[in-house]
Structure formats: structure tokens, C-alpha cells
Amino acid sequence: MAGFFIQLKINMQNWGVKISGYGAYLPGKAVSNEELKALYHLDFDAEKHAAITGIKYRHFGEASLTTSMMAAEAAKEALLCANVAAKDLGRIILGTQTADYTNTAASCRVQNLIGANCPVGDTTASCSSFMYALDNALRLVATGCNKVMLIGADMKSRNVRKSDKIFLPIFSDGAGAILLEKTDTSGGFLGIKLWADGSGFEDIIVPAGGSAMPASIDTINNDLHGTLINMEGKKMANFTASIMANLASQLCDELSIRINDIDLFVPHQSNYYIMKKTANILGIPIHKMEVSIDRVGNCISGTIPITLHQSYSRGRMKKGSIVLITAAGAGYTGGAAIYRCL
């Protein structure tokens, strides 16, 4: 494989970067597999789908809702959780692949919606967008920009054909957010590692809508604004699991952390088959893996912060616990991070 590892690992133990607030937002009511079949007249086995992907429910945003609106709601909850005012934020970073418009950062609208006045920025790396945004946010806090709002949000249902019985039951809409702040105590984020291999950038792709193929009557008529996969499904799933496991394993080795020391495993909620295979490769017991995909589906950039919010709400982010986070996405991209709860 022609990929390369971007050596962006940093030891945060002495610098001190912690999560001080968690937030999440899921639009509308939960849609079950059977409801989805009836709504779009899809021919797929709902029970088999749930068994393989782990997905039983998902959320879809109404036509008037945008990625920035969902992101803002998640950010508001994270601010409330941390007891921090929006005006005190030093930066807003949004990981997304479905910004509201092609010419402006969706994080600009988030800033306006929550009443902040700080600089902002969007980061796009498919399902790894949140991890790439996390790397950016960690370095900002570690080098003096305190109180960084980090958000992952996507309206992926807008880029799926309503007749697609493979992707429509998997992809969903949602947003999650964490507030990062400085801390004088040891712990917090211990390290992060990113990866990319651009040789596979066309393996999973939305062909139209960008500069390569601008939207036109032809692209609409030929249904080119939906997600396409150009690799056999199981091969893609196994490849994705290997990326996440390799990144996580390498980061653990670099930080001298044993797999047995991991208390909580938070993988990108792509589908349960991939998540379970990743855990098995690493040797992490399934009971240590946090699972949200059953109730929210695959929200792309939103899956990790939504799952972290769930872990926090369930009391699993206990002081001293070591949390392993990993993701992989189209492009190809990937990332892993380790956090010691404070």
C-alpha cells in the first residue's frame, strides 16, 4: 500500500488539554428500519441489516435544517455543560463533509448562531473529519488558544439516493461537540496520530457538486449527487477496520500504553461489523466498546463526538480512565487519539 503516516503525534501530558463540555444534537424523531423501508419503498432485510450494521434507528433532518444549525445546537449544549459563555471561545473548528454552502465555512454560521465572536474553520476528511479537526484543535489549545469548540456534524442524508438500499439505511444526520480547555493537571489528551493515502480517493465518492463535476441538469438527471462505492463492500469493510486498528496500535506503542490499559474504546460508528472487527484485531473486549450506531446510524463526522457525549452521559468517562478513539474514512484518511479522563 502506497499510504504514508503523517507524523503529527504530540505528547500532551505536560501541556494539558482536557474536555470540559460535551454536547450532541439529533434531528427529528428516530426512524426504524421498518419505517425506512415503508417510507422509501426499499427492498432490504431489516433484521439482517440490523444484525450486520448494528443500526436499528437513524435520524434525518427536515428540509429547512442545515449542518451549521445542528452543529450550533450541539455546541450550545457543550457550552452549557462546561458553564462557558460563547463570547469566551477562542476558536470554533467544525469537522464536516456537508457544509451548508460550497463557498463559505459552515462554522461561520455556527459562530453567529451561538453568539460567539472568535475565528472559525471547517475541516474536511470524510469520516475522519472530526479526527483531523481534533488534531487542529489540540494544537491550538496546547499553543495558547484556550477554549476551543470542536464539532463534528453532517447532513449525509442529502448525499444519498432515496432508492439506495445500501447507503440510505446506513447514513444519517447528526452533530456532536466537545469543548477543549487548558488544564494544569496531568492527563487529558495524551497523543494523536493522523494518516492519509490519496491513491484511493475515488473508491468512495460523491461524483457531482464540486469543482471536478459542477452541478448541472445532466448530473441531476444521471443521479450523480449520491454516494458511490467503487470497491467490493466486504473488502472495504475489512480495509477500514485494518486502518483503524493499525493507527490505534501504533499510537498505543508510541505512548507505551498497553491495550489492556484501555478502559473505553470509541471507534467511528461506521457499522457494527467494522467496529467489532477493529476491536477484535486490537484485542479489546467488546464490553469496553461504546456503541451509539444502533440508535443514531452513521453520522459521518458526528459519530465520535456523539458517542463521546453518550459515554459521558452514561458515566463511562470516569476520572483516570483511558479512552482510545479511532476513525477511518474515504480519501483514504484515518486518525487515532488517546485521552485520560480528568
Catalytic residue among 268, 271, 299, 309: 268
Phi, psi for 303 (deg, rounded to 5): -65, -45
40: cell is 422509501
Catalytic residue among 33, 81, 298, 309: 298
Rounded to whole angstroms, the Cα distance separating 238 from 52 reads 13
Catalytic residue among 127, 252, 299, 341: 127
The verdict on whether 238 is a catalytic residue reads no
231, 100, 43, 77: which is closest to 151 by C-alpha?
77
CA-derived radius of gyration, the chain: 19
| DSSP labels, 125-154 | BTBTHHHHHHHHHHHHHHTT---EEEEEEE
Residue 12: burial class (beta carbons within 10 Å; 0-12, 13-18, 19+):
buried
65: cell is 435544517
Any alpha helices (H) in 222-302, and if so which ranges? 233-254, 272-282, 293-296
74, 185, 14, 26: which is closest to 92 by C-alpha?
74
The verdict on whether 268 is a catalytic residue reads yes
Rounded to whole angstroms, the Cα distance separating 267 from 337 reads 10
Residues belonging to the active site: 127, 268, 298
